[in-house]
Amino acid sequence: MEVARTRKGILISQRKYTIDLLKETGMLGGRPSETPVEVNGKGKKELGNPVDRGRYQRLVGRLIYLSHTRPDIAFAVSVVSQYMHSPYEEHLVAVYRILRYLKMTPGKGLFFGKTNQRQIEAFTDADWAGSVEDRRSTSGYCTMAWGNLVTWRSKKQSVVARSSAEAEFRALAHGICDKID
């Protein structure tokens, strides 16, 4: 983990870890991607053939570790981690897309800026019935302390919401619980 200090604040990144991961997977020379997930990629596709589960789990595990300082990949990693038990080619393609995104942004991380702001804020959102497989919604929330991102989470809701309002209220409840803890 690299820590850079300036007069404006502190940047925590995992640049070396990211570059090592790209080298190990042979993605350092590949073409980059501007986003970690396919934009508007909700349509169900052919899954293709099963892939090596152990290799898939190792790659996703490394991405999970990296997501501790990279909130920009948290949602994408949460999606691919749902298939750890039975990965197919489509899922591996999604993992490679995250790796191609990391190629464009190896030094990104968390920046904790100096500020006079002294408040805690929480932001929540949900996509109603966003999963084409089981119609469950995904909640997302983040918490800011003194204007700096300190917690974030993206998680599929445990039940199917009957309306967008219900999905949003569930996301709000999860975000508030996180803020209180």
Q: Which has the minimum average pLDDT: 4-8, 51-55, 114-118?
A: 114-118
Partnered with residue 155 across adjacent β-strands are 139
Res 44: pLDDT = 55
Q: At which residue do the structure tokens 């990144």 appear?
A: 13
Average pLDDT over residues 92-110: 95
Pairing label, strands 9-13, 138-145: unpaired
Count other Cβ atoms within 10 Å, centred on residue 159. Answer: 10
Q: Which residue has the higher pLDDT, 117 or 91?
A: 91
Give me the amino acid identity at 168: E
Res 63: pLDDT = 97
What is residue 95's three-state secondary structure? helix
The answer on pLDDT for 176 being more than 90 is no
Q: How far apart are CA 90 and CA 88, in angstroms?
A: 5
* Tens of pLDDT, residues 31-58: 999 999 987 665 456 788 999 999 999 9
- Rank 50-59, 114-123, 138-147 by mean pLDDT and report only the highest: 50-59
Tokens of 81: 């981690």
* Percent of the chain clearing pLDDT 90 (strictly above): 56
Res 42: pLDDT = 54
Average pLDDT over residues 145-168: 88
* Tens of pLDDT, residues 58-89: 999 999 999 999 999 998 998 899 899 999 99
Tally of residues, the chain? 181
How far CA 58 is from CA of 18, 61, 88, 175, in Å, comes to: 14, 5, 15, 30
Q: How far apart are CA 170 and CA 129, in angstroms?
A: 13
Res 41: pLDDT = 61
CB 127 within 8 A of CB 137: yes
What is residue 170's three-state secondary structure? helix
Res 67: pLDDT = 94
How far CA 59 is from CA of 87, 88, 145, 166, 173, in Å, comes to: 12, 14, 32, 34, 32
